[in-house]
Amino acid sequence: MGPINKTDGIPLYIKIRQQLHDEIENKILLPGQKIPSEDELASNYGVSRMTVRQAIADLIDEGLLYRRHGVGTFVSHSHVVRDQSRLTNLFEGAEQEGVNISVQVLIADILPAKIKVSHALNLAEGDLVFHIKTLRSTDGMPITVHDAYVPYKLIPQLLQEDLEATPLWDIFELNGYRVKRAVQRLEAREADEELAGLLSVEEGSPIFYKERTVYLDDGTPIEFTHCYNRGDRYTLTVVLYR
């Protein structure tokens, strides 16, 4: 950062905005890093504080920076953008956005299906299901708790798979099952104590909750999931037609 060219007719706030944008894009400024104050930036660039403020406001609008009241301005972490106009899983969407997802298995167990799970998976209450609960992270920051149930009878060897390296849908396909459609319900919630701890947020922080049943091409339900996403790291895109 330093004085900028003021003689080429390009507004100064646009130049500052672009320079900060490039430093974020090139990882000179890293996710979670606090940037210099408006006064410091104004002094470094040789411009007014208002000029710097306009550049920062634009970058906040773009989602590249965020403010913490009384603390400062920080580089945003990457958002996972989900296109809900077609059926994809988190890993497919993240790959399209150039975001790397890491997975930590919290629970991998076999248990009798309770009534809600059995209804969703078209099973008798008490039929065996796999319970696979994972924590998904990007840039070292947790973003999603994924709590899934899969009928035991469909893939009895499921727990022998590497659940941290291989997405469930890939495992389904490797076993001859093709995911065709899903029915899901979306709602806003607040993080309880357990979720707040797992997602590294304050208790009561906004959570984007998704409940989904996934079906195979023959109509068989293969996965019922509760998905809890950090509200500050998850963006939903839906294409609507009229």
pLDDT per position as a tens digit, 205-236: 899 899 999 999 999 999 999 999 988 777 66
Q: Among the listed ranges 10-19, 44-53, 66-75, 195-204, which one has the minimum average pLDDT value? A: 66-75
Residue indicated by tokens 């009229």: 242
How far lies 64's CA from each of 22, 33, 52, 120, 154, in Å? 11, 11, 15, 39, 44
pLDDT per position as a tens digit, 102-160: 899 999 999 999 999 999 999 999 999 999 999 998 877 898 999 999 999 999 999 99
> What architecture is the 80-237 domain classified under in CATH?
3-Layer(aba) Sandwich (3.40)
pLDDT per position as a tens digit, 32-64: 788 989 899 988 888 889 999 999 998 888 778
101 vs 182, higher pLDDT: 182
What is the model's pLDDT at position 124? Answer: 95
What is the model's pLDDT at position 62? Answer: 77
Query: What's the distance, CA 213 to chain centroid?
Result: 19
User: What is the signed CA dihedral for 21, 22, 28, 30, rounded to 10 degrees?
Assistant: 30
Residue indicated by tokens 């899901």: 184
Q: What is the largest CA-CA distance in the chain?
A: 75
> What architecture is the 12-75 domain classified under in CATH?
Orthogonal Bundle (1.10)
Distance CA 240, CA 36 (A): 41
Mean pLDDT on 158-180: 93
Which residues of the chain does CATH 3.40.1410.10 include? 80-237
Which residues of the chain does CATH 1.10.10.10 include? 12-75
Distance CA 123, CA 214 (A): 14
pLDDT per position as a tens digit, 78-100: 655 555 555 655 655 555 555 67
Distance CA 98, CA 108 (A): 28
Q: Do residues 1 and 19 touch, judged by C-beta distance below 8 A?
A: yes
Q: How confident is the model at residue 71 (pLDDT cuts 50, 70, 90)?
A: confident
What is the model's pLDDT at position 95? Answer: 55
Q: Do residues 90 and 136 touch, judged by C-beta distance below 8 A?
A: yes
What is the model's pLDDT at position 46? Answer: 87
Distance CA 163, CA 103 (A): 8
What is the model's pLDDT at position 82? Answer: 53
